[in-house]
Every structure is written in structure tokens, then in C-alpha cells.
Structure 1
Amino acid sequence: MKEMLKIGIATYNKLPNLTENDRLLIPIFEAKGHKIVPEIWDNPEVKWDTYDLVVVRSTWDYYLKPVAFKNWISQFVNSKTRLINSPEIVLKNSHKFYLKELSKKGVNIIPTLFSSEKIELETIKFWEKVVIKPAVSAGSHETEVFETADLTQDILDSKIETGDWLIQPFLEEIKSAGEISMLFFGGEFSHAIQKIPKSGDFRVQKQFGAQYLNYEPSRELISTAKNIVEITEKKSTYAHIDGVMTKNGFFLMEVEMIEPDLFFEHAPEGPNRFVEAVLKGL
């Protein structure tokens, strides 16, 4: 590794100076002798080949520009500029049908219909309530909950008429216990939070009024999550395991390896762990 690296931290145009969490990384990298520059991922003026390393962070509009994002990521495939996570990991993780592969490998995902074409209403009638979400999405974008008794074939068809979709039973535990997010850096557990939606809602993002709490997962749950990380991608520098605890155990919702929130406000040592994982990965 070079003594001094020029490192770009990729963000998007609404956060040109990075998130508060990501800004914590800058002095740590600089203290190790590296130069850090925030860059907007889809800014055509940026010369990415002048960087030794690009760390994908708050590219939070990528799902609204999927073709542009895919092209941007793809330029790093055989480039001298390293991308973290790697372009191969990011490209695969950008489409939630990766969950189908994890299920086949024994990961306990929420029961899911993966739809690229028409779904007959009768096939989901045994679920009282369903969640329908796009396969390329973030932050609950275009995610809706339906009572199956109120669904008609026309409504279902209009919802999933284009693109790829996931249809899942709605787990009532999400309303009360929320979602658990566990962060792994360099394959090792760092910290976790519990995201509780506001009363009457199912969305666990802060912009929808959700509350984020410190969470101490059991050794068994950490082991389960670490196994999911290894099955998904052993070489990931960072991974964010999201799921829900039910009476039947932990159900995986998604593995985020693109631009997850890192929740450093709940982990004072988190930024150091993240930087160490990035540099060790090189």
C-alpha cells in the first residue's frame, strides 16, 4: 500500500459535505497520512482515475438513477482505482433478488415471492397483510402494505406491472419491536441499533418518525448475522444486516453493502473500526 493514499468519499448532491457520520472518518484517515476528498458520485467533472481509493458512502439517490449508478460502479471493475465495497459486491447488492440466493443457501429470510411478471392474487391470499417493495430501492421508496382482503387483481397488476418486485407477508413484530440493524466491518461485529417505527407506521427510517435505540444483540444473534455476512460476501469491508426478531427467530430483511447509515452516534469507536477495516482490506 502507498504511504499516502488519495481517497474519495462518494456522496450525493444533497450532501456535498457528507453526513455528520461520514465527516467523523476524515480526521482518522488524515491522521494516518491520507488525503480525503468528498465527491458527488454522478458529478461528470470528477476524474475518478486520479484517486487511489473511492469509498462508497452516502450515494443515497442511486436507486432513482439505476442505469447511471450501474455505469458509474462498472468503471471501477478493471480500474487502478479501488472501490470499497468492490464493484462486484455493489452491483450484486443493488438488486434485492440476491435474497433468493441467500434463501437457497439456508439463510432465514422473510417468506418472499420474487416477481418479474404477473402474480396471481390467489397465490398471496393466505397472507392477511402483504408488503410490496421494489427490488431496486432504499428508504422504503415505493414500499406499500396492503390488506389482502382489500386487494384486487387489477390493483396488484398496476403495482407490479413494470420492474422487479418482492412480495412478503407483513410481520406484526415490526410495528412493536421494529427492525434490528447490525454493523460489520471487515467481517467483524461492530455495533447494533434497534429502529422502532412511530405509532401506526411500519417504516423504520428517521424521516418517517422512527426512533433509533442502542441494541445489544445476543452472542447467538451476532453469530447468525456474521454467518449471513460470510455467505453473502466474505470480502466485504462493511455490511449492514437488517432483520426482525419473531417468535420463530431472526428473519433477514436485507444485507446492505452499498451505502448504509453507519450509526456512529451509537458507537464512539465505530469510525476507527471502519477506517481500520478499509485500510486492512487493501
Structure 2
Amino acid sequence: MSTATRVALVTCATFPDLWDDDHPLRDALRERGVIVEAVRWDDESADWSRYDLTVIRSPWDYVARHDAFVAWAHRVPRLVNPATIVEWNTDKVYLRDLAAAGIPTIPTEFVAPGQTWKPPAEGEWVVKPTISAGSQDTGRYAFPAQSEQAETLVTRLHAAGRTAMIQPYLRAVDTAGETALLCLPDKSGELSFSHAIRKGPMLKGPADGTIQPGDESITPRTPSQAERDVAARVLAAIPGGTSQLLYARVDLIPGPDGAPTLIELELTEPSLFLRSAPSAADRLADAILVRVTAHLS
């Protein structure tokens, strides 16, 4: 290329120099001669046409402005992951599509504004909005003792025009923890398994409107073959296929029968835990350069 490649890593005002986990990617790109700039998604002065590729990383303040964020994604040229994926994946009603495709998912009840909700009679349940980040406005409730608190959260979400989702709390979160499988393009450009981590429990009780602190200890994990098989099935069910994706994160947990169950599919702004796998940042940087070359050819 006659001029230096220029890549934007999209962030938010809270992390103007990117989230720490993305520094290895930034550094790997710079080692390859790429001009890398951290740019807020809502920076009205940003000229997105200047970049050979715009990579979404940590725009985590978009939740309260979801429609604006999706509209922004549709305006940005050469965006990865692309706007159609952003629109589909930032509202967790996508779980319906994956369940319909035969993916094992946590049974989920969606309650939109204007709909009534009857709290469960017993057990522990998670209540949260379908559009959220960092477990904000997410709570864990024991029924019937905390029914009133759970109803208060649902009412508050509905008053803000947000859809609530209710899922049984899986006790394996407290023991096995979540397994997050990170998928990046391989040398052939195909999205494939890169590395995995274990995440401890996040939810300690009812939501208070803030991001739940929880136990966010992250440790490397070798996924089981069953987990890898489910992750492959999840990727195969993504609308439009995986060739459009630069990254994917599949979050699994053992269900009541011990089999891997999908919690979330993160395709928009997931932490990639690049520090947990020494070669991951290099692999992602190389994939970005391949994408740039493809766009310029």
C-alpha cells in the first residue's frame, strides 16, 4: 500500500484510550505499521471515511442510546462487526432466533412494555433488560421472598420503554462458572476457536441500577469438546454467516443436566480477553490487515 493503513478502534468517553484488554491489539497493529486511533462512537467530529477499517471495541455507554448507536453503525463504512449484526445482536431477543434454530439456550420469558408479568412462584431467577451491558439493571431474586423487588425492576424497565427478560438462575454459575469461547479468524480467514476463559459469578442480589461488581476473576480455561461443539452450532446459526465477522464470543454454562447451555452470544462489543492468550492479539491484528486488503482490492 502506498500510504499507511489507518484503523479506528471504537470506544466511549469512559475509556478514551481504550479498555485495557484492547491495548495488546492496539500495540500489535502499531507493530505492523498501522496508524491506530481510539475514537468515541458518538464523536460528532469523527470522519469515519478516513479509516481503512473501523473496529468496534468498547462503546459501552450506548445502552441508553441504543437507537442512535444502531443508526451510527449503519452510517459507518467498513465497520466490523457490521451494522446488520450490531442491530441483531445488541437486543437479547436474538436468543429467540437461536432457540428456534435448535441451540440449547436458557429458557427465557420476554416481557415488553404494556405486557403483564406474573412472578415465578419459587426458585431463583434473573431479571434484566434485553438491551444492557456490564450487568447493569440486572438482578438475582429469590421467589417468593423478593417478588416485590423483582416486580419493581420490571416496572422501572417498562417505564423507560425497555423490554425485560426473566431467566432461571443456574447454580452452575457459582461452581463451574461461565465458559467464554473466543473465536477469531484463522489464517484462511475462517472464524474459528482461539481461546477460552472462565468467568466467576457476577450477580449477588437485586439490581440497584448500577453495574454489579460480583466476582469478575478471569482465568484461562480449556473448553470441553461438548462446549466447542455447541459453540460451533451457535456460530453456524448466525444470520448471514460468519464470514462477515471479525470476532465472536460464545458464553456457555452447564444447564440443569450438565450439558453446555448458551447464556449470550457476543458479536458487537465483547471483551476478548486478549491478555489470556499470548497469540490472540497478533492473530486479530493479522485478520484486520487481511480485511483492509480485501476492502482495498
Give the structure-1-normalised TM-score.
0.88
Residues of 2 paired with 1:56 and 1:71: CA distance? 14
Deviates more, 1:85-94 or 1:60-69: 60-69
Q: CA RMSD in A?
A: 2.5
Kindly tell me: are residues 135 and 4 of structure 1, through their superposed partners in 2, closer, same or farther at Cα, counting changes over 3 Å? same
CA distances 1:23-81 after superposition (whole Å, capped 9, x unpaired): 212332234343211111111111112222100011111213213212211212xxxx3
Partner SS, residue 99 of structure 1: helix
1:158 corresponds to: 155
Quote the Cα distance in structure 2 between the aligned partners of 1:226 and 1:209.
28
Letter in 2 for 1:58: S
Match of 1:238 among 232, 247, 261: 247
Provide closer, same or farther for how the CA distance between residues 41 and 132 of structure 1 changes in structure 2, counting only shifts above 3 A. Answer: same
Give the AA of the match of 1:275.
A
Task: Give the AA of the match of 1:113.
Answer: E
Quick one: distance in 1 between partners of 2:56 and 2:2? Answer: 20
1:227 pairs with one of 220, 228, 233: 233
**Do the aligned partners of residues 251 and 75 (structure 1) sit closer, same or farther apart at CA in structure 2, a change above 3 Å counting?**
same
1:10 pairs with 2:7 = no
Q: 1:218 is matched with which residue: 215, 224, 249?
A: 224
Amino acid at match of 2:264: E
TM-score between the two structures when normalised by the length of structure 2: 0.84
Distance apart, 1:206 and its partner CA = 9.0
Name the counterpart of 1:192: 196
3-state DSSP class of the match of 1:208?
coil
- The 1:36/1:178 distance shift into structure 2, 3 A limit, reads same
Equivalent residue number for residue 144 of structure 1: 139
Residue correspondence of structure 1 range 1-282 to structure 2 within 5 A: 4-76=4-76, 81-116=77-112, 117-121=114-118, 124-125=120-121, 128-150=123-145, 151-152=147-148, 155=152, 158-161=155-158, 162-186=161-185, 187-197=191-201, 207-232=213-238, 233-235=241-243, 236-246=245-255, 247-281=257-291, 282=294
Distance apart, 1:221 and its partner CA: 1.6
Task: Say which SS state the counterpart of residue 140 (structure 1) adopts.
Answer: coil
Q: 2 CA distance for matches of 1:146 and 1:119?
A: 18
**In the alignment, is the contact (CA less than 8 A) between 1:198 and 1:211 conserved in 2?**
no
Relative contact order, CA 8 A, sep 6+: which one is greater?
2
Q: Structure 1: 5+ residue runs without aligned partners?
A: none
CA contact (8 A) 1:4 1:35 kept: yes
Q: Go from structure 1 to structure 2 and tell me whether the alpha carbon gap of 1:67 and 1:31 turns closer, same or farther (over 3 Å shift).
A: same
1:140 partner amino acid: S
Q: Distance in 2 between matches of 1:108 and 1:2?
A: 49
How far apart are 1:148 and its partner, in Å? Answer: 2.2
| CA offset digits 1:80-112 (Å, max 9, x no partner) | x30010111111111000000000000000011
User: What whole-Å deviation, never above 9, does each CA across 1:97-135 have from its counterpart, x for those lacking one?
Assistant: 00000000000000111221423416x33x512111101
State how far apart, in whole Å, the 1-side matches of 2:167 and 2:156 are: 14
**Identity value in percent:** 29
2:173 counterpart letter in structure 1: I
Check the 8 A contact 1:178/1:195 in 2, yes or no: yes
Per-residue Cα deviation, 1:176-214 (whole angstroms, up to 9, x for no partner): 2221111001221011111113795699x9943321111
